[in-house]
Amino acid sequence: MAAIMTNRRAILLTAGLAALLTIAARAEAPRIYAITGTRIVTSAGAPIENGTLVFRNGFIEAVGASVAAPADARIIDGKGLTVYPGLIDMGSSAGLDVPTPPRPAVAGTREDIERWKRQVILRPEIEAADYVKADSPDLKRLAAAGITSILAVPPGPVVRGRSSLLNVAAADDEPQYGNIADERRGLYVIRTPVALHVAFPERTAGDAYPESLMGVTAFVRQAFLDAAHYQAEHAFYDRVKRAETRPVYDRALEAMQPALAGVVPVVFEANEFREILRSLGMAREFKLRAVIAGGHGADEAIADLKADKARVLFSLDYPVRPGTLAPDADEPLRTLRLRARAPAVPSALARAGIPFAFESAGLKEPKDFVRNAAKAVKAGLSPDAAIRAMTLDAATIAGVGDRLGSIEKGKIANLVVTEGDLFDEKMTIRHVFVDGRLLVLEPAAAPQTPRRGRPGGS
């Protein structure tokens, strides 16, 4: 009887070990693809008109006209197709779930209300990577429009928080044995934090300061002044170590330190010329690395942008006439000019040598990201410059140009395969790869993201 039990244990142990090895083998099986006989737009040089692209386990292994497909690769016939680097949207809140501090049900004092409002509008400690909704359909829908990565920006009215560069899809969950399960949202993250984001709305909700654009501007400037004083207080305490000098910890001011130190750039949302100048002036005052988001009036600020070595995240959410206006209602001339010039602004930035990328910033339809970039091409931007703005230049601004944004050996295999030129109205996306994984494409419906207000916009 003992011998029978021993044999049963041995059989069960062997079966269990075999199952574990099978699962491990499945998890570690190489993902290798070869797209052959295709046109390859690398974003790092001239296109390869008839080449082969090989990528294995999420990274590009070889690319060129004379590359041979490995025997173990899954072959995709690329005849009549074009391969582009995955597109990068440099301003989106898709897939994020950031809670807003609840207003006190019973406010005992004015300070309670002001403290709550400060928590709502001053949130530099919020980091987008911490609030990704794993497997969010809003992210997956972007892939159908060719968008494989986004600069995820926390929603918020003023000091929004820190952005993270995310892929729009992650690997399937693998079985976990002998360790605590991985943090799933971390699978999406390419780099974090990328930048601190600041906006200047004309008004803010709530009956506490600030309530106007002038008040918001003063509040942001005061926040940077407070953060600088906070740093000085802590530095002094570190030197003298006296109990009476010990400063109070403030997580918001603590989170602003990398921006003040120049480690993390600050993205200012600004469209009109005067808004851009105000943002650049604040950046100069505090020695910040300035990036302008929106930028519909950036062509008027070319000299200032160049002098400050600022970069631009140009919004493809072009301003339009508000639907709430009566048909015969007049609009300010500056609003009409801004709307008329907007598609030509990227061309002006390119001619001036100002680094820029594109952001969706509230577009209702993901497919409009490419369509509206095509409008910039029609307005004078070269197709090559437009593609770079959506790929390598975007990755470079995000600080990951060494591993994303172009089709080169060793880079992450985020790829879009199209039938037809990217900016052709009849272009069709055939395949999308994220981290070297072939995605099942879903309709590129509108993600449920907050829409930012734009001058002259709806």
Confidence of residue 122 (pLDDT cuts 50, 70, 90): very high
pLDDT digits (tens, 9 = 90+) for 154-174: 999 999 999 999 999 987 755
Domain ranges of the chain: 88-404
Q: For residue 330, what pLDDT is reported? A: 86
Give the least confident one: 41-55, 205-219, 420-434: 205-219
How far is it, in rounded angstroms, from Cα 312 to Cα 290?
A: 9
Q: Per-residue confidence at 440, pLDDT binned at 50, 70, 90?
A: confident
179 pLDDT tier (thresholds 50, 70, 90): low
pLDDT, position 188? 92
Looking at residue 186, its pLDDT comes to 80
- Tell me yes or no: is domain 88-404 CATH 3.20.20.140: yes
Instruction: List pLDDT tens digits, range 243-254.
Output: 677 888 999 999
Mean pLDDT of 379-392: 98
Confidence of residue 457 (pLDDT cuts 50, 70, 90): very low
The answer on pLDDT for 24 being more than 60 is no
Q: Which of 98-112, 192-206, 444-458 has the lowest mean pLDDT?
A: 444-458
The 10s digit of each residue's pLDDT in 283-312 is 999 999 999 999 999 999 999 999 999 999
Q: What is the model's pLDDT at position 241?
A: 77
Closest C-alpha among 230, 237, 218 to residue 259: 230
Dihedral over Cα of 53, 54, 59, 63: its sign: negative
What's the whole-model pTM score? 0.88
- pLDDT grade for 12, boundaries at 50, 70 and 90: very low
Q: What's the rounded mean pLDDT across residues 234-240? A: 87
Q: Which residue has the higher pLDDT, 5 or 382?
A: 382
pLDDT at 174: 57
Highest mean pLDDT among 44-53, 180-189, 446-455: 44-53
- Residue 47 above 70 pLDDT? yes
Answer whether residue 109 shows pLDDT above 80: no
Q: What pLDDT, on a 0 to 100 scale, did the predictor assign at position 180?
A: 52
Is 355 or 105 the better-scoring residue by pLDDT?
Answer: 355
Q: Is the model's pLDDT at 433 over the cut of 60? A: yes
What local confidence, expressed as pLDDT, does residue 183 receive? 66
pLDDT above 80: residue 447: no
How much of the chain, in percent, has pLDDT values that exceed 70? 86
Q: Biggest alpha carbon distance in the chain?
A: 97
Distance between CA 245 and CA 12 in Å, rounded? 67
The chain-wide mean pLDDT, for the chain, equals 88
Q: What is the mean pLDDT of residues 211-229?
A: 95
| pLDDT reading at 17 higher than 60 | no
Three-class secondary structure assignment of the chain: CHHHHHHHHHHHHHHHHHHHHHHHHHHHCCCEEEEEEEEECCCCCCCEEEEEEEEECCEEEEEECCCCCCCCCEEEECCCCEEEECEEEEEECCCECCCCCCCCCCCCCHHHHHHHHHHHHECCCCEHHHHECCCCHHHHHHHCCCEEEEEECCCCCCEEEECEEEECCCCCCCCCCCCCCCCHHHHHEEECCCCEEECCCCCCCCCCCCCCHHHHHHHHHHHHHHHHHHHHHHHHHHHHCCHHHCCCCCHHHHHCHHHHCCCCCEEEEECCHHHHHHHHHHHHHHCCCEEEEECCCHHHHHHHHHHCCCEEEEECCCCCCCCCCCCCCCCCHHHHHHHHHHHHHHHHHHHHCCCEEEECCCCCCCCHHHHHHHHHHHCCCCHHHHHHHCCHHHHHHCCCCCCCCCCCCCCECCEEEEECCCCCCCCEEEEEEECCEECCCCCCCCCCCCCCCCCCCC
Q: What is the mean pLDDT of residues 356-385?
A: 95
446 pLDDT more than 70: no
Q: How far apart are CA 443 and CA 53, in angstroms?
A: 27
Across the range 278-283, mean pLDDT stands at: 98
Instruction: State which of 202-206, 327-331, 365-369 shows the largest mean pLDDT.
Output: 365-369
